[in-house]
Amino acid sequence: MRSNLAKKGLEKAPHRSLFKALGLTDEEMNRPLIGIVNSKNEIIPGHINLDKIAEAVKAGVRLAGGTPLEFSTIGVCDGIAMNHIGMKYSLGSRELIADSVEIMATAHALDALVFIPNCDKIVPGMLMAAARLDLPAIFISGGPMLAGMVGGHRVSLTQVFEGVGAVSAGTMPLEDLYDLEENACPTCGSCSGMFTANSMNCITEVLGMGLPGNGTIPAVYSERIRLAKQAGMKIMELLEKDIKPSDIMTADAFRNAVCLDMAIGCSTNSVLHLLAIASEAGIKLDLQIFNELSAITPHLCKLSPAGEHHMEDLYRAGGIQAMMNELDKKGLICKNCMTVSGKTVGENIQNHPVLDYEVIRPVDRPYNATGGLAVLFGNLAPEGAVVKKGAVAPEMLIHEGPARVFNSEEEAVEAILGGAIKSGDVIVIRYEGPRGGPGMREMLTPTSAIAGMGLDKEVALITDGRFSGATRGASIGHVSPEAAAGGVIGLIEEGDLIRIDILSNRLDLLVEDKILEQRRSIWVLPEPKIKTGYMKRYAEMVQSASTGAVFRR
């Protein structure tokens, strides 16, 4: 056992004394030491139930003969951090989470790890740590929130953000917005649409790092407590058989994850995180692969914000295993991949058909023949940009319009809510990338304001920042290279024509090369927006979004 480094031998008597100070008996110390990585805090709605999940996991570990030792990580609620300086710190927290797990697991010589995440950056940060450490590991998330109900219609956080735009446009009374505020988030859990947290929990299941049900069992269901106990027992089996993340997160597993991503229309952030996780796992994954798999993967599921269904509907329709079962009918799933269940993907999905074809479309009757995400290239994004194609109105899949240029999210929001944006405009928000932001803020406020004002079928938005999974419309993010790295997005001037062709995966600035070179010759990098602390160091180390916004090595 790896933990023998800290507990066996004459010279480890002091170490054993410290373990005994925790209340551990000799019998407990003789068992494998299992780290329970719990991201619980009392700020994030998706985390307030994680103490119950952790207790269930620990019960499972003890049932199977291990000794659980719980420790915590930080976490950021992107919804609460949205549209103020706090959002600059969200993506940066992903690297800190991975680093802190590495430190705790290594410093204390733990034998294996059970990860308990929920919400946006915690899931990928923990997956990065699992890949980096390559100790036997399993994930059990806190689960998704149930949808709210207002006026006989189910709603989620998306409608609250969009309600702000509707009130500003005079199309919704303030009391209706308050009704949304009161009812949109009725339970604990990760917000109820196919936003980033749920996208990443579903992807964790597809990668094979979570048991079937990890992504979709609602947070308030007792079934999730039972799943947590199973995860605690299963980690002991993984340790005994020496099944590690490198055995599970293979190139084929990442291919499965990208196919599922396309079929279910995940958040654009899933692209960013898959690139970063693959980097830690030593797997080659680039943006071109997303387009290649999108071209052959049908879009089968539209959850909020792209459609009317929510996570609880996907759960009742058979969940992720049913999605994979349906995709397998087209030969899109690599079935020989190992999973933390101890079974292959093929064994897991064979008895899990789709239970509701209104929620999960059959492969011969998809929403679209191609995937829900697209990566765009062109002179404006030579290294790529990402759009949630499945949430774009058909009339905006091809669009050409004048640039309205803003150097921060705040400037853009002021213009949008002030009525300064007109039909046909292409809003450009720059210096919001990983380095320029710093931290590549999610920008749900401007996109939801546009939608709430009824302009989402008339106005496009492009940025070197990123968007929440709750975003809909022609919102194109992750433009790389970013403005702060000398990207073309930093050379755009007011009124320049921009052409968007999502069907052809193109994003182009219609300005001659010689004019762009003239502009580049006088371009000056703006002063850093944060000059002290962690985010200053982050900005000095991080790369553009096309790498997954990982640190330079």
- Which phi and psi (to 5°) does residue 361 adopt? -70, 150
Helix, strand, coil percentages, rounded to 5, for the chain: 45, 15, 40
Catalytic residue among 39, 141, 304, 468: 468
Spatial distance between the Cα atoms of 5 and 453, rounded to a whole number of angstroms: 61
Q: Is 91 left (phi over 0), alpha (psi -120 to 50) or beta?
A: alpha
In this structure, which amino acid lies at residue 356? D
Spatial distance between the Cα atoms of 264 and 216, rounded to a whole number of angstroms: 13
Spatial distance between the Cα atoms of 248 and 548, rounded to a whole number of angstroms: 21
Q: For this structure, is 408 an active site residue? A: no
Spatial distance between the Cα atoms of 447 and 157, rounded to a whole number of angstroms: 13
Spatial distance between the Cα atoms of 169 and 450, rounded to a whole number of angstroms: 10
In this structure, which amino acid lies at residue 254? F
Of 297, 294, 317, 296, the closest CA to residue 307 belongs to 317
- If you count DSSP H runs as helices and E runs as strands, how many of each does the chain have, helices first? 21, 14
CA angle (407 as vertex; 506, 418 as ends), nearest 5: 100
Of 245, 166, 254, 269, the closest CA to residue 207 belongs to 254
- The tally of CA atoms less than 13 A away on the side-chain side of residue 198 is 31
Q: Are 454 and 447 a contacting pair, CB within 8 Å?
A: no
Of 222, 216, 288, the closest CA to residue 258 belongs to 288
In this structure, which amino acid lies at residue 459? V
Respond yes or no on whether the N-terminal peptide bond of residue 438 is cis (omega within 30° of 0). Answer: yes
Helix (H) or strand (E) holding 114: strand 112-116
List the strands of the sheet with 33-38, edge to edge: 67-72, 33-38, 112-116, 137-139
Residue appearing with tokens 């949205």: 82
Q: Are 14 and 90 a contacting pair, CB within 8 Å?
A: no
* Burial category of 25 from C-beta neighbours within 10 Å (exposed 0-12, middle 13-18, buried 19 and up): exposed
Q: Measured in whole angstroms, how far is the alpha carbon of residue 390 from the centre of its chain?
A: 17
Q: Are 134 and 105 a contacting pair, CB within 8 Å?
A: no
Spatial distance between the Cα atoms of 94 and 271, rounded to a whole number of angstroms: 14
How many C-beta neighbours within 10 Å does residue 369 have? Answer: 11
Spatial distance between the Cα atoms of 96 and 104, rounded to a whole number of angstroms: 12
Structure tokens belonging to residue 88: 């600059």
Please identify every residue annotated as catalytic.
Answer: 468
